[in-house]
Amino acid sequence: MSAEPFRSGFVAIIGRPNVGKSTLLNRILGEKLVITSDKPQTTRNRIQGIHNLPGGQIVFIDTPGIHRARSRLNRYMVDEAGAALEGIDAILFLVEASANPAAQFELVAEYLPRVAVPVILVVNKIDLVSREQLLERLAQYGKLHPFHEIIPISAATGDGVERLVELIFPLLPEGPAYFPDDILTDAPERFVVAEIIREKVFRLTGDEIPYAVAVNVEQFKERPDGSLISISAVITVERETQKGIVIGRKGALLKRIGTQARQEIEQLLGTRVFLELFVRVRKDWTENPNMLKELGYQ
């Protein structure tokens, strides 16, 4: 009896902001790879997460939330989401179980006619609705598009996630693994470190600050014996008032950001870390093409 063929492919996770795309990817991988927060538009770049199975490899592409873009940075994020639909083998279209189906579907539906691959509708956050409400939502979504499958899950609790992976796997073509089986992502360590720092800014500041923040790692130096990594990073904001908020009274908030980020970076890298943070003002950087490119949004 011949063995089952090895399967590998790319699966894009799309949806509106804050529906749980990054939380789902972290849940599938079993480790925190992508930053999360309760604020929309936390994810700005496409991020590939690599999930290895006994008979194959799924490369998940986490994307920024699809929304009406108002700034150059927002347009970059929406373009990133759209570009993720090129050369893929399946799409996970994520929605919230408690949200209005028509509103959730409106923007993302603009992208679906472009693709000829299976689209699985993933109804997330089912732990926040009643069974009756969930059944009603599933029926409503079933009338909006000929989805390959509709599956309810909770990325937060893990309910239904294993079943979702089982549904995805047969959709992948036969072929070799794209990445070694001992890595979670193809993103460089500098990028992941910068994202961790940015997440702490999102979580520890108010509503205004996160959307004006970018983080750039300027130094990443490891001791020859691997006992310590020295990291220097710059947090960029748009205005002096924002700089004052990020630093905090007598530097207290910046210290909290640094402490929480350092602890998570040490866990990621498996060694001690010396983290130094600076805050600078680049006026209206979210609208400046040259600054966006310099900060990695190109």
Per residue in 12-46, pLDDT (tens digit) is: 898 888 889 889 999 999 988 776 666 555 555 67
Please state the φ and ψ torsions of residue 8, each to the nearest 5 degrees: -155, 150
DSSP classification of residue 173: P
In whole angstroms, what is the distance from residue 224 CA to residue 69 CA?
45
Please state the φ and ψ torsions of residue 147, each to the nearest 5 degrees: -65, 150
Q: How confident is the model at residue 78 (pLDDT cuts 50, 70, 90)?
A: low
Q: How confident is the model at residue 81 (pLDDT cuts 50, 70, 90)?
A: low
179 located within any domain: no
Q: Which domain holds residue 284?
A: 189-294
pTM: 0.81
Q: How confident is the model at residue 87 (pLDDT cuts 50, 70, 90)?
A: confident
Instruction: Say what the pLDDT of residue 43 is.
Output: 57
Average pLDDT of the chain to the nearest whole number: 85
Instruction: Say what the pLDDT of residue 1 is.
Output: 40
Residue 145 has pLDDT above 60, yes or no: yes
Residue 67 has pLDDT above 50, yes or no: no
177 located within any domain: no
CATH number at residue 214: 3.30.300.20
In this structure, are residues 124 and 155 in contact, taking their beta carbons and an 8 Å threshold? Answer: yes
101 located within any domain: yes
Residue 187 has pLDDT above 70, yes or no: yes
Same domain, 144 and 26: yes
CATH number at residue 163: 3.40.50.300
176 located within any domain: no
Of 120, 144, 171, the residue at which a domain comes to its end is: 171
Q: How confident is the model at residue 172 (pLDDT cuts 50, 70, 90)?
A: very high
Percentage of the chain modeled with pLDDT above 70: 85
Is pLDDT larger for residue 107 or for residue 217?
217
CA distances from 223 to 194, 227, 229, 262 (A): 20, 6, 6, 17
Same domain, 222 and 287: yes
In this structure, are residues 117 and 12 in contact, taking their beta carbons and an 8 Å threshold? Answer: no
Give the residues across from 144 on adjacent strands: none
Same domain, 16 and 128: yes
Mean pLDDT within 69-94:
67
Instruction: Say what the pLDDT of residue 58 is.
Output: 96
Give the residues across from 7 on adjacent strands: 56, 174
Find the radius of gyration of the CA atoms of the chain: 20
Residue with tokens 């609208």: 287
Q: Which of 207-216, 261-270, 274-283 has the lowest mean pLDDT?
A: 207-216
Token output for 269: 């890298």
Coil, strand or helix at 207: coil
Of 136, 171, 206, the residue at which a domain comes to its end is: 171
Instruction: Domain count for the chain, please give it.
Output: 2
In this structure, are residues 160 and 188 in contact, taking their beta carbons and an 8 Å threshold? Answer: no
Coil, strand or helix at 113: helix
